[in-house]
C-alpha cells in the first residue's frame, strides 16, 4: 500500500462560517464599490461573531447592516432556526450577537496599492502556490476531489432534511496508490478509507444514522473503478452519536482551513488565507492566477501534475518570482521553458489578474466570494480562474 489522505469540511463548520461571513462582507462592498479595500477577519465562538480588521470603501455599512449580513449568511449555511436541534445543541440566528471592530486601511499600504499610473501594487508581500493534477476530472488530486463529493452529498441532504441532520459535517478520503511510482505518476488504484462525521438529532439511533450516511455514500457518484464498497474501509461517526455542533461547541476563525480550501495537502500552499480579502491582496489573486496556469499546463498535456509558485513585494505590481515545477512528470517540455514562457506571456500583476477573472465584480451571474469560501477556493469548474482558455498557448510549446 501507498496511502494519501485529504479531508473536507462543510459550510456549516465554524471555520467555514467565519470564512463565509468574511467573504459576504467582501461581496457587498465590492458590489457597491469595486475599488473597496477589505481585510476583515471573523471569529465565531458560542453565539458571538467578532468582525475585525480594516476596510476602505465608499459604501458604508452600519452596525445594523453587519448584524443582518451575518444572520443572513448563517441562515444560508443552514443555521436558520428551522432545524430540529435545540438552542443548546446548535447555533440559532436569534441568539447571535455581532461585535464589529473595523478600522480604515492604513495610508502607508494604500499609497503603494493604488498607484497614480492606474497600476495596482500588491497589497502585501507573500508567496502563493497553484497546483493541478490529471488524477480527477477537476484537475485536482483524487483524495480531495472525492472527499468533496461526499461532503457535498451529505451537506445537501442535511439542508433538505433539518429534522434529521445538522450542517456541521466533515469527510475524509484515503487513496491507495499501491506504490510510490503510481503516486508520482498520478495513478490512484483504489479508495482505501472513507470517514464521515455528521451531527444527527437526539432522537436518531446511531445505527439509523450510519445506515442513512452509508446510503448517501453509495449515491455520491464515486468512480466505480476506485470505489469498492465491500473492500473500502468506511467509518461513519466513529466516536458514536454526534448531536451538539456548530460554534456553540467549537470556535471558528477565518483562514484556518487553507488545506481544505486548496489542494488537500497534496501540494505546497501559500503563506496567507484567501477569504476576507479583496483582489489586491495577492494571497487571493495570486492563488487564482497560479492555479489557472497550473491547470492549463496539465490540460495541455505538458505534464501530469504541476506546481506554479508566485511571489510579490508589497506595493510592487510585477511578481518578484515565477516558477513552474512539474515534479518530474513533464511531457516533452521542461520546467525552465515553461517558467520562461509564463514570465514572458502573462504579466501577473494584481491589475492583470483582476481584469482576467473580473475579481472586482462579484455577482450571482459570475461568482460570489462567499460561495467560493463555502465550496473551496479552487477546483470548481464554474469559477473564472478554472477556465481552460490558455491550453492552446501552452500546446504551442510542443
Task: Indicate whether 269 belongs to any domain.
Answer: no
Whether residues 306 and 202 share a domain: the answer is no
C-alpha cell at 22: 468574511
Residue 288 lies in a domain: yes
In the prediction, which pLDDT does 108 show? 62
pLDDT exceeding 70 applies to what percent of the chain?
Answer: 97
Mean pLDDT is lowest, of 51-60, 108-117, 165-174, 179-188, for 108-117
pLDDT at 253: 97
pLDDT score of 120:
85
Give which of 356, 346, 354, 342 is closest to 120, Cα–Cα: 354
300 and 378 co-located in one domain? yes
Residue 115, in any domain of the structure = no
Residue 236: CB partners within 8 Å, gap ≥ 6? Answer: 195, 196, 197, 198, 209, 210, 213, 214
Q: Check whether residue 210 and residue 288 sit in a common domain.
A: no
* Structural domain for 313, as ranges: 126-133+282-396
Establish if 166 belongs to a structural domain.
Answer: yes
Tell me what pLDDT residue 107 has: 67
Q: Are residues 311 and 219 in the same domain?
A: no
Boundary-marking domain end, from 244, 266, 297? 244
CATH of the domain at 201: 3.30.300.10
Would you say 154 and 216 are in contact if contact means Cβ atoms under 8 Å apart? yes
Task: Please check whether residue 252 lies inside any domain of the structure.
Answer: no
pLDDT at 35 over 90: yes
152 near 169, Cβ under 8 Å? Answer: no
Q: How do residues 240-276 score in pLDDT, each as one tens digit? A: 989 999 998 999 999 999 999 999 999 999 989 999 9
Confidence band of 123 (pLDDT split at 50, 70, 90): confident
Are 152 and 228 found together in one domain?
yes
pLDDT at 289 over 70: yes
Q: What is the pLDDT of residue 111?
A: 61
Query: Is 70 exceeded by the pLDDT of residue 282?
Result: yes
The yes-or-no verdict on residue 110 having pLDDT over 80 is: no
User: For the CA atoms of 103, 108, 114, 116, what is the dihedral angle to 10 degrees?
Assistant: 140
Let me know whether 240 and 287 are in one domain: no
Chain mean pLDDT for the chain: 95
Residues 287 and 392 placed together within one structural domain of the fold = yes
Q: Which three cell numbers stand for residue 7?
A: 479531508
State whether 289 and 239 are in the same domain.
no
Q: What's the average model confidence in pLDDT over 219-231? A: 95
Q: Do 199 and 305 lie in a common domain?
A: no
Q: Is residue 294 part of a domain?
A: yes
For residue 367, is pLDDT > 80? yes
How buried is residue 125: exposed, middle or buried, by Cβ count under 10 Å (0-12/13-18/19+)? middle
Please check the confidence at residue 39 and state whether its pLDDT lies above 70. yes
**Domain-located, residue 49:** no
The answer to whether residue 23 is domain-embedded is no
Asked which of 244, 265, 294 is the last residue of a domain, the reply is: 244
Tell me: the pLDDT tens digits for 299-353? 999 999 999 999 999 999 999 999 999 999 999 999 999 999 999 999 999 999 9
Number of structural domains (the chain) is 2
Q: Is the pLDDT of residue 116 over 70?
A: no
Same domain, 334 and 388: yes
Residue whose entry in the numeric block shows the C-alpha cell 445506515? 211
Adjacent-strand bridge partners of 43:
50, 253
Largest CA distance in the chain: 65
Pairing of β 97-103 and β 48-56: parallel
Pair 339, 236 in one domain: no
Give the model's pLDDT for residue 398: 87
Instruction: Please report which confidence band the pLDDT of residue 124 belongs to, taking 50, 70 and 90 as the band edges.
Output: confident
Regarding whether 162 and 240 lie in a shared domain, the answer is: yes
What burial class does residue 223 get, using C-beta atoms within 10 Å of its C-beta: 0-12 exposed, 13-18 middle, 19+ buried? middle
pTM of the model: 0.96
Amino acid at each position: 500500500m501507498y496511502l494519501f489522505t485529504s479531508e473536507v469540511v462543510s459550510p456549516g463548520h465554524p471555520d467555514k462560517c467565519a470564512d463565509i461571513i468574511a467573504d459576504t462582507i467582501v461581496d457587498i462592498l465590492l458590489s457597491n464599490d469595486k475599488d473597496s479595500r477589505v481585510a476583515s477577519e471573523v471569529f465565531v465562538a458560542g453565539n458571538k461573531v467578532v468582525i475585525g480588521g480594516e476596510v476602505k470603501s465608499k459604501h458604508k455599512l452600519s452596525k445594523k447592516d453587519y448584524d443582518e449580513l451575518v444572520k443572513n449568511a448563517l441562515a444560508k449555511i443552514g443555521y436558520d432556526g428551522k432545524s430540529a436541534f435545540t438552542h443548546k445543541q446548535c447555533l440559532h440566528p436569534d441568539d447571535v450577537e455581532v461585535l464589529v471592530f473595523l478600522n480604515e486601511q492604513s495610508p502607508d499600504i494604500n499609497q503603494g496599492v493604488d498607484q497614480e499610473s492606474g497600476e495596482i501594487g500588491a497589497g502585501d508581500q507573500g508567496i502563493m502556490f497553484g497546483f493541478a493534477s490529471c488524477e480527477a476530472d477537476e484537475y485536482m488530486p483524487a483524495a480531495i476531489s472525492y472527499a468533496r463529493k461526499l461532503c457535498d452529498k451529505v451537506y445537501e441532504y442535511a439542508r433538505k432534511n433539518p429534522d434529521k441532520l445538522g450542517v456541521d459535517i466533515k469527510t475524509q478520503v484515503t487513496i491507495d496508490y499501491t506504490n510510490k511510482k503510481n503516486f508520482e505518476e498520478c495513478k490512484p488504484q483504489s479508495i482505501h478509507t472513507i470517514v464521515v462525521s455528521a451531527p444527527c438529532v437526539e432522537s436518531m439511533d446511531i445505527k439509523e444514522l450510519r445506515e442513512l450516511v452509508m446510503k448517501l455514500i453509495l449515491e455520491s457518484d464515486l468512480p466505480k473503478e476506485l470505489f469498492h464498497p465491500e473492500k473500502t474501509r468506511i467509518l461513519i461517526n466513529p466516536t458514536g452519536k454526534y448531536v451538539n455542533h456548530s460554534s456553540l461547541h467549537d470556535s471558528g476563525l477565518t483562514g484556518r482551513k487553507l488545506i481544505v480550501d486548496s489542494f488537500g495537502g497534496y501540494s505546497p500552499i501559500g503563506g496567507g488565507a484567501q477569504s476576507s480579502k479583496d483582489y489586491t491582496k495577492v494571497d487571493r489573486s495570486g492563488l487564482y492566477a497560479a492555479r489557472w496556469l497550473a491547470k492549463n499546463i496539465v490540460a495541455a498535456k505538458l505534464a501530469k501534475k504541476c506546481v506554479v509558485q508566485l511571489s510579490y513585494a508589497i506595493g510592487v505590481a510585477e511578481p518578484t518570482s515565477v516558477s513552474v515545477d512539474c515534479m518530474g512528470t513533464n511531457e516533452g517540455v521542461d520546467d525552465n521553458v515553461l517558467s520562461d514562457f509564463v514570465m514572458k506571456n502573462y504579466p501577473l500583476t494584481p491589475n492583470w489578474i483582476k481584469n482576467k477573472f473580473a475579481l472586482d465584480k462579484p455577482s450571482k451571474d459570475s461568482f460570489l466570494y462567499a460561495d467560493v469560501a463555502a465550496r473551496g477556493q479552487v477546483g470548481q469548474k464554474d469559477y473564472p480562474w478554472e477556465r481552460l482558455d490558455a491550453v492552446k498557448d501552452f500546446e504551442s510549446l510542443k
